[in-house]
Amino acid sequence: GEIFATLKVLIIGESGVGKSSILLRYTDDDFDHDQNLTIGVDFKTKVVDIDDGKVKLAIWDTAGQERFRTLTPSFYRDAQGAILVYDTSNKNTLVKLESWLNELEIYNTKPNMVKMVVGNKIDKPEREVSRDDGIRFARKHRTLFLETSAKTSEGVKQAFEELVRKIIET
């Protein structure tokens, strides 16, 4: 079928929250217990069926570790969507999303970029962030919200599809 649009989506958040794992689950339906940390920027594409059409997603995955971060204005430029990931077993990773949201404000040139806060690793029994806390954070920052597990794949496909739908209707 015909591809109607290419959308640029960023995945950001602290190191170890599972950004690359979410991407691997989504594009390859795979999971790696020993997923390497990302150096610089990684990039994958996926064609998504939405309603009667197809959309090509260009997904940019970034290093959470400051010393491996090579984020330039061109990384943020023209991104229509951003997935901001925290780890539901680590409260501090949610707190840190505040500064990632600020980065988006500073660099992103699109005023109506669609943002989604994602709480990942819900398969882990130890919880530091309740679902309600996540929802509250997302509401405060006017973003979409979902919980995921890259390990079990729960919520991963939904996250990208919800984001794409919202971008299309924005």
133 vs 130: CA distance, rounded Å: 5
List the single partner that 165 binds among ligand GTP, Mg ion, none, CB under 5 to 8 Å by kind. none
Residue 99 or 112 with smaller CB distance to ligand GTP: 99
Per CB under 5 A, 38 contacts Mg ion? yes
What are the structure tokens assigned to 68, written together? 């491996």
Listing DSSP states for 55-96 in one string gives EEEEEEEE--SGGG----HHHHTT--EEEEEEETT-HHHHHT
Count, residues in the chain: 170
Minimum distance, C-beta of residue 73 to ligand GTP, in the bound complex (Å): 20
Residue 80 or 120 with smaller CB distance to ligand GTP: 120
User: Which residue, 75, 71, 72, is CA-closest to 58?
Assistant: 75
Site for Mg ion in 7-26 (CB under 5 A): 19-20
Print the binding letters for residues 120-149 with ligand GTP: x by CB under 6 A, - otherwise. Answer: xx-xx------------------------x
Taking contact as CB under 5 A, which single stretch among the options 30-38, 46-54, 126-134, 158-166 is the one that binds Mg ion?
A: 30-38
38 vs 138: CA distance, rounded Å: 26
130 vs 157: CA distance, rounded Å: 21
Per CB under 6 A, 20 contacts ligand GTP? yes
Print the binding letters for residues 44-63 with ligand GTP: x by CB under 6 A, - otherwise. Answer: -------------------x
